[in-house]
Structures are given as C-alpha cells and as structure tokens.
Structure 1
Amino acid sequence: MPGSEKPVIFFDGVCGFCNRFVDFVMWADVRREILFSPVQGETSVKFSLYQNQPPREWKIAYADEKGVYEGADAILLVLRRLGGLWRLPALLIYVPRPVKDYFYGVISRNRYSIFGKRETCRVPSPEERERFLP
C-alpha cells in the first residue's frame, strides 16, 4: 500500500480459487515479501476496500507502494512482482482493460460454483501466520 513496506493481496477468504491463488503466491514468492489479508478481515475493513459490496462482487486486490489494483490487473501485477518466468504471463497487463475485465468477471462471478466455497475463512498455519494480516 502506498507508504507500506510490503505489498498486500486482499482475497476472499472463503473462495476456493482465491485460496489456491494465495497458496501459489506463497510458494512462488521466494523473497517472502507479499503479505495477505482476507476481505473479511480487519485490515480490508480499515481500508474500506469492499464497503457496501455483496460478496459476489468482491475482486481480488493488490496494494503496493504505487497504489491499489483490483481484478485482472491485481493478479498480473502480482505475477510481475514474483519475477522470473512468472513475468511472462504478466505481459497480459498490456491487453486492453475491457478484455481483461470481461474474462476476470466471468471467472469471478462463477468462482464459488466452479472452485467451491469454504464455510469459514482460511486459518493460516503457524508457518504462514507471519505473512497474514488480521
């Protein structure tokens, strides 16, 4: 987030797809510089990222020193930050926004039916705790 030391991914804590993306980033982020916060947590409430939005409309968000990004741009900027070969799919950042938003929207609106929904938010393991914000 602007002024913050480490970037943060805000994700739907009960979404199966979102949790898989978090697992992937935790694995691929060898520098361990990206933090995570569930949308349902105190941190996202503090920054008013999802006020007055029903859960179906929540988008993944990524906040770094330059700003806050949502949806496809958030995912692509995370891939860029991971570096290495993950930068290749990040080149899709140059696809026109309406095209990216369309495909992101199709997946996002159907994420619970395609990838499942947990009953409760993810509980980080002891090893993961240092990377999760409340």
Structure 2
Amino acid sequence: MAKREEPNSLVLIDGECNLCNGLVQFIIKRDKAGRFRFAPLQSPVGQRVLREGGMNVSDFDTFVLVESGRLYTRSAAALRIVRKLDGGWPLLYGLTVIPSALRDAVYRIVAKNRYRLFGRKDACLLPTPEVRNRFLEEER
C-alpha cells in the first residue's frame, strides 16, 4: 500500500522578526519532504487565515501553525512542527508532558523580547528562488 501524502501545513510568522525568519530557515533545512509552507502574519494570506480562525489580526507575538484547518499557537505550534522534522527533532515532542501553561509562559517571555534579543527587519523575508514555492504570497 502506498504511503498517503499528508496535506501541507502552513506556518504563519511575524515577517519582520529575525527570530521568526531564523525559525523558517531552521524548518526548511530540516523538512526535506516539504511538508511546511510559510506566509507572514502581515500578508493578505496571513490576515485571512487569522480572521477565519477568529484570531487577532494585529497580534504578531505568536506564530501560527495551520494543520487540517485547525490553528495552533505558541508552544503547541512549535512542538507540532518539530514532530515532523528530519533527524532527532521529533523527540522534543515529548515536552508535551509539561503543562501548556508553563510552556506558553516561557514562550511569551521570548516573544515579548524577540525584537530586543534578535532584532527586527524593515520588511518581510524574501525567499530564495530554491524555496520560493514554499511561501504563500497571494490569496488563492
């Protein structure tokens, strides 16, 4: 029996955040199967997804993972992503045994200080030609 292909997951990031852009590069490097696609939270695609998911369209303090129509944020999104990466990264999914309130408290501290710690871009990330097809730029 052939392995069933799962639909692509969408990762929405703050396109002006260096930490978030580094996260995208980290995921791309460890996602040889190309399961993840990306869009800035500030983009038309990101704004539409946030609106449809009932989320605040002006809050960029979290990244969002969309899988099978369901939205995940903060540590839940991060752990669901590492679960699908190549190498030993899926082992980190075991951190789900830590209560989400504690995981998300740490996440919020980093998110609140991300520009101070990692810097900020004046514009959203421009993908290289090799990975451009993994970025959603326009409404579909």
Gaps of 5+ in 1: none
Q: Which of the residues 106, 109, 114 maps onto 1:106? A: 109
Which shows bigger deviation, 40-49 or 100-109?
Answer: 40-49
User: Aligned to 1:27, what secondary structure does the other structure show?
Assistant: helix
Confirm or deny that 1:34 pairs with 2:12.
no
How much does 1:51 deviate?
Answer: 3.1
Gaps of 5+ in 2: 1-5
Amino acid at match of 1:63: V
For 1:11, the equivalent position in structure 2 comes to 13
How much does 1:54 deviate?
Answer: 4.2
1:85-100 matches, within 5 Å, as 85-100=88-103
In 1, are the aligned partners of 2:45 and 2:136 still within 8 Å (CA)? yes
1:96 and 1:66 map into 2 onto residues whose CA distance is 24
Amino acid at match of 1:22: V
Backbone CA RMSD of aligned residues: 1.7
Amino acid at match of 2:129: P
**Percent identity at matched positions?**
28
How much does 1:73 deviate?
Answer: 0.8
For 2:63, the equivalent position in structure 1 comes to 60
Deviating beyond 4 angstroms after TM superposition, the runs of 4 or more aligned structure 1 residues are none
For 2:47, the equivalent position in structure 1 comes to 45
User: Aligned to 1:35, what secondary structure does the other structure show?
Assistant: strand
Q: Would you say how many aligned residue pairs link Structure 1 and Structure 2?
A: 129
How much does 1:84 deviate?
Answer: 3.6
For 2:72, the equivalent position in structure 1 comes to 69
- Identify, as 1 or 2, the structure richer in helix: 1
1:121 and 1:112 map into 2 onto residues whose CA distance is 14
Q: Which whole-Å deviations, capped at 9, do the CAs of 1:91-133 have from their partners, x for residues lacking one?
A: 1122101100110000000000000000111111111110000
2:47 and 2:75 map into 1 onto residues whose CA distance is 22
In 1, are the aligned partners of 2:47 and 2:57 still within 8 Å (CA)? no
In 1, are the aligned partners of 2:64 and 2:73 still within 8 Å (CA)? yes
How much does 1:79 deviate?
Answer: 0.1
